[in-house]
Amino acid sequence: MEADQMASLLKVKKKDIQPVLKSLGNANLASLYIEKDKIKLAKISWQGLNEIGEINLKYGLGKDSYENYTAEGYR
């Protein structure tokens, strides 16, 4: 994904995303983001954002996620 697409996805100005990408240097970061009701994992580097794939969260998101986690007996 190019910087313009990232800016659109993050709802920031296109000129504001370039300094952020340049500041990453050689670092590679991973991030979760939501696109059209799907949770996706992406690698972020100075070259842009590379989508890795969709994520299926077993316990869901939001206020009930911890309750779902504890209901499974993991805590």
Q: What is the pLDDT of residues 17-29, one digit of tens each?
A: 888 777 777 777 7
For 23-56, b where at least 16 C-beta lie within 10 A, e where not — what string?
Answer: eeeeeeeeeebeeeeeebebebeeebbeeeeeee
Cβ contacts of residue 5 below 8 Å, gap of 6+? Answer: 49
Kindly report whether the global pTM for this prediction surpasses the value 0.75: no
Kindly state the average pLDDT of the residues 44-71: 63
